[in-house]
Amino acid sequence: MTRAHYVGPWRVDLTVRDGVESPVSGRMLARSIAAALDAVGAPTPGSIGLILSDDHELTELNEAHLGGEGPTDVLSFPLLQPSAFRDHPGKAAGPPVDDPDWPPAVTPPGRRPHLGDIVISVERAIEQASTGRGGQTGDVRWSAADELRLLATHGALHIGGWDHADPVEGAAMRSLERDLLGGRMATGTAAPG
């Protein structure tokens, strides 16, 4: 079942797969995504999809789209090029260069442009939070709800053109995530080493 959550100019279309139970409300996740979209200067109004799933689906998507093995916690599928969003530390310098192989975003008149989709493994989020491997740094023990909020925020930043492969951009991304979560990551308990 899909349910739309409206937060400011954003519509977050939340789909929860059968058998998946989220420890945080869809409204709270929508607010986290909206804050991230505001921070990256996403074109407004816009819509974004959020799918709460399990390790099985994330394993399949990881292998099919990234060539990875096994489950991952979050995957993002952006529909707009990074040049559609605000500049940020680590983003490639110079004028935006659009990828000629990227399909153009086409939106029927009167419709919100769809920015992309985020898929999160709730199973992986719960496991990471409970074992102290959360916080995207792998060393934070906190609630599964906080881990899901972080993954939704992280996924939305990827939709908005952020990438943590570059060390400068990665550090800026982590800092922005902490700011967007109200410093919550800083209050998580470091996992035993």
Which pLDDT tens digit goes with each residue over 122-175?
999 999 998 877 776 667 778 999 999 999 999 999 999 888 887 888 888 989
Domain boundaries of the chain, sorted by first residue: 2-190
Contact 57, 119 (CB under 8 A): yes
Ordered alpha helix ranges (H), the chain: 26-39, 55-61, 122-131, 144-159, 167-180, 184-187
Q: Pick the closest to residue 117 from 51, 163, 38 (CA basis).
A: 51
* pLDDT bracket for residue 1 (50, 70, 90): confident
**pLDDT at position 17:** 97
- CA torsion, ordered 138, 47, 65, 84, to nearest 10 deg: -90
| Nearest Cα to Cα of residue 38 among 136, 115, 137 | 115
pTM of the entire predicted model: 0.85
**CATH label, 2-190, candidates 3.30.950.10, 3.90.550.10, 3.40.390.30, 3.40.50.970:** 3.40.390.30
